Structure 1
Amino acid sequence: MRLTGIEVRFGGTPALAGVDLAVAAGERVAVVGASGAGKSTLLGVLNGAVPPTAGSVRVLGQDPAALRGRELRRLRARTGTVHQHLELAGQLRVVHNVNAGRLGAWSAARAAWSLVHPQGTDDVLAALSRVGLADRAYERTDRLSGGQRQRVALARLLVQRPELVLADEPASALDPALADQALGLLGELAAGRGGALLACLHDPALALRHCDRVVGLAAGRVVLDAPARTLTVAALEGFYGVRR
């Protein structure tokens, strides 16, 4: 995965400015920065949701902005995203939201039939078990707590089995123990396909425990790119306006 000279502007406001970033297979990279630094926009460029104003993007050997229709769906099936707002269908049962991770690999007919008679439930239950929600598979998703919904989004990613994992604040609604579990699962998932993990994280300690490398954004620019082992929590807290 490589970004070269990426700029994104919304109207006259720059969200990303001259971003160069390369992530190798097997890397676990944390992206840190204050609100408005450009973290979510960066993930949007990588999954094809945000077209860059300038620069070039290569994700799993392809340019997401140049793809349409089936080709874009295939790339997104290989790229798993945990969105900050989760993008779950609250009125559907948990099993259907988890199965949404496989829609890119299913025909339209199978996807429609699965809404009536859920398909692949063994895999769904196994994924829910890994996030501690096996007993909630047939509950309406909007009846779950915020932390439980976040774990449903993680289970959806587990059944998708992507090569590249993009996670936008994947542990923001979880307690410390579950947050560690979630980041561990995401790292295992990426490593299992020989892929990579890029996670926007609000907790510096979590970033240092689970990632090999930390990229810091400020005002849409990369101002830090260093191995996690060389950094401290105190050094990263400045990216969030925290002072000891």
Structure 2
Amino acid sequence: MPPSAGTVRVLGADPAGLSARDRRRLWARVGTVHQSLELVGRLRVVHNVNAGRLADWSGARAAWSLVRPQGLPEALAALDRVGLADRAFERTERLSGGQRQRVAIARLLVQQPDLVLADEPASALDPVLADRALTLLGELAPARGGALVAALHDPGLVRRHCDRVVGLAEGRVVLDRPVATLSDADLAEFYGVTT
């Protein structure tokens, strides 16, 4: 859907002004962690991780990868980084919610996007794993000159992993400041947390 006003720029480009082919190339540079995770439960974990490479592979290679996983060293390395290398060949539906969330992060690690959009990427993780996941995501896109844009509802994660906070309420920007300029009380007030 086009914006009702103004323009949207993604990695310096206006997607509405691109050809279908160039738009596909642009979206291949954008990695996402959806709140619903967008994983295929019946597939093995390694296949869900390899979905991060589909934009780089031909249709034949993608289909063959369902029979014999392609890019296995990279997929296993990504799973190792999220602590799930030993689960690579299990069906994804057998994993816990937190484990599935880490599979979605491993998918991004093999994709190596220039921009990461993450909707609550640590909601199903315990505090230690949440910090680890945000650290991985925070290193991923900026290492390629891009950025991580994350919707987070935990002020502690915001404080530890974000440079800037853009707060929305009822469709309007109500806060837009560097994290370093915000006190814990400012964050608590915005998040509606009582201290």
- In structure 2, which of residues 42, 51, 74 is the aligned counterpart of residue 100 of structure 1? 51
**Consecutive unaligned residues in structure 1, runs of 5 or more:** 1-49
Partner of 1:166, secondary structure, is: strand
Q: Structure 2: which amino acid aligns with 1:78? A: R
1:39-50 correspondence to structure 2 within 5 Å:
50=1
1:55 matched to 2:22? The reply is: no
1:145 matched to 2:108? The reply is: no
Q: 1:194 to 1:234 in 2, by over 3 A?
A: same
Report deviation, 1:109: 1.2
TM-score norm. by structure 1 comes to 0.76
Q: Structure 2: which amino acid aligns with 1:132? A: G
- In structure 1, which of residues 213, 217, 224 is the aligned counterpart of residue 164 of structure 2? 213
- In structure 2, which of residues 153, 171, 183 is the aligned counterpart of residue 202 of structure 1? 153
2:45 and 2:103 in contact (8 A); partners too:
yes
Report deviation, 1:176: 0.5
Encode CA deviations 1:140-171: one digit per residue, 9 max, x unaligned: 00000000000000000000000111111000
- In structure 2, which of residues 33, 36, 39 is the aligned counterpart of residue 82 of structure 1? 33
More strand by share: 1
2:79 and 2:85 in contact (8 A); partners too:
yes
Question: C-alpha distance in 1, partners of 2:104/2:3?
Answer: 26
- Farther off after superposition, 93-102 or 231-240: 231-240
Encode CA deviations 1:6-51: one digit per residue, 9 max, x unaligned: xxxxxxxxxxxxxxxxxxxxxxxxxxxxxxxxxxxxxxxxxxxx53
Q: 1:144 to 1:126 in 2, by over 3 A?
A: same
- In structure 1, which of residues 130, 138, 142 is the aligned counterpart of residue 81 of structure 2? 130
Q: How many residues align?
A: 195
Question: C-alpha distance in 2, partners of 1:68/1:116?
Answer: 33
Report deviation, 1:128: 0.2
2:51 and 2:107 in contact (8 A); partners too:
yes
Report deviation, 1:54: 2.2
Q: Structure 2: which amino acid aligns with 1:128? A: L
More helix by share: 2
Report deviation, 1:121: 0.4
Q: State the match for 2:125 in structure 1.
A: 174
TM-score norm. by structure 2 comes to 0.95
- Farther off after superposition, 136-145 or 210-219: 210-219
Report deviation, 1:67: 4.2
Encode CA deviations 1:188-210: one digit per residue, 9 max, x unaligned: 11122111111110101111111
* Greater relative CO, 1 or 2 (CA 8 Å, sep 6+): 1
Q: State the match for 2:42 in structure 1.
A: 91
Q: 1:53 to 1:97 in 2, by over 3 A?
A: same
2:42 and 2:91 in contact (8 A); partners too:
yes
- In structure 1, which of residues 163, 169, 183 is the aligned counterpart of residue 114 of structure 2? 163
Pairwise CA RMSD = 1.4
Q: State the match for 1:226 in structure 2.
A: 177
Q: State the match for 1:71 in structure 2.
A: 22
